[in-house]
Amino acid sequence: MEPPDPPPSDGVVWLRPVDERDIGAIERGITDSDVIRWFGPPTISAHAVLELKPSAWRAAPFA
């Protein structure tokens, strides 16, 4: 499944595929103490998470 073009929006918020602009947020998320408490320490880097996203999108069960 390909992301919609243009991305869905309500005029205030746009939903878009994850990209390089999100590395900081991904890093904060995978190193957050509450996330680590529930899911364990990260086993891959934020860049590796970003690289996995396109294949995860294509494999989505709703596709």
Give the tens place of pLDDT for each residue, 17-50.
Answer: 888 999 999 999 999 999 999 999 999 999 999 9
Q: Is residue 33 part of a domain?
A: yes
Q: Is residue 4 part of a domain?
A: no
Domains held by the chain: number = 1
User: Residue 22 pairs with which residues in a beta bridge?
Assistant: none
- Inter-helix orientation angle 46-58/23-31, to 10°: 100
Q: Is residue 6 part of a domain?
A: no
Q: Give the model's pLDDT for residue 37.
A: 97
Print the domain residue range for 35. 20-58
Residue type at position 13: V
pLDDT tier, 58 (very low <50, low <70, confident <90, very high otherwise): low
Q: Is residue 12 part of a domain?
A: no
